[in-house]
């Protein structure tokens, strides 16, 4: 079954820009996003600013992608925890940090989906070090899975 997946760690705020998050952390993100207002009647005021470190490397299991993201973040765990707590306190809408897993099943655009030597991408786990990082930073784990079948 063709599968495309990626993982990212994000810090999100309704008030603080991704640029400010970058300045506080001293870490350049791979991606940033700003979403506009969800209501056509209101002016376009950002609903959320998001600072992200991402792994989109194909052919890896989710836990391998998580490992690559966390490898980059672990040296900054204490600072990330401080910023995440600061963002959560100012927004008061739950966790400001998230480890996001996105999986798209039956995605025909997946490169080398049928390669015979491709490792099984379906099973994955988070080890104690990954769970410890999530706990220290106050991050949630969010897994989104989508069936991309034409049916």
What distance in Å separates the CA atoms of residue 49 and residue 11, rounded to the nearest whole number? 8
Q: State the CB neighbour count (10 A cutoff) for residue 20.
A: 15
Residue % of the chain over a pLDDT of 70:
77
- 8 A C-beta contact, residue 49 and residue 21: yes
16-52 confidence digits (pLDDT tens): 989 999 999 999 999 998 766 555 565 555 578 899 9
Nearest to 111 by CA among 16, 2, 1, 10: 2
97-123 confidence digits (pLDDT tens): 999 998 887 756 555 545 555 555 677
Q: Quote the pLDDT of residue 33.
A: 85
- Reading the block at residue 19, the tokens are 């640029």
- 8 A C-beta contact, residue 136 and residue 103: no
Dihedral sign, Cα of residue 110, residue 113, residue 117, residue 122: positive
What distance in Å separates the CA atoms of residue 122 and residue 97, rounded to the nearest whole number? 25
75-84 confidence digits (pLDDT tens): 999 999 999 9
What distance in Å separates the CA atoms of residue 130 and residue 135, rounded to the nearest whole number? 9
Q: Quote the pLDDT of residue 44.
A: 57
- For the chain, what is the total number of helices (H) and then of strands (E)? 4, 5
Confidence of residue 7 (pLDDT cuts 50, 70, 90): very high
Query: At 86, which helix (H) or strand (E)?
Result: helix 77-91
């Amino acid at each position: 079954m063709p599968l495309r997946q990626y993982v990212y760690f994000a810090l999100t705020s309704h008030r603080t820009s991704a640029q400010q998050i970058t300045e506080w952390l001293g870490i350049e993100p791979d991606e940033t996003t700003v979403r506009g207002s969800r209501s056509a009647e209101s002016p376009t005021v950002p609903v959320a600013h998001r600072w992200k470190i991402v792994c989109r490397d194909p052919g890896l299991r989710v836990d391998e992608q998580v490992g690559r993201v966390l490898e980059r973040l672990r040296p900054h765990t204490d600072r990330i925890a401080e910023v995440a707590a600061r963002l959560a306190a100012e927004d008061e809408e739950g966790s400001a940090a998230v480890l996001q897993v996105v999986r798209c099943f039956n995605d025909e655009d997946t490169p080398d989906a049928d390669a015979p030597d491709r490792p099984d991408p379906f099973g994955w786990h988070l080890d104690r070090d990954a769970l410890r990082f999530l706990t220290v930073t106050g991050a949630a784990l969010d897994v989104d899975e989508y069936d991309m079948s034409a049916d």
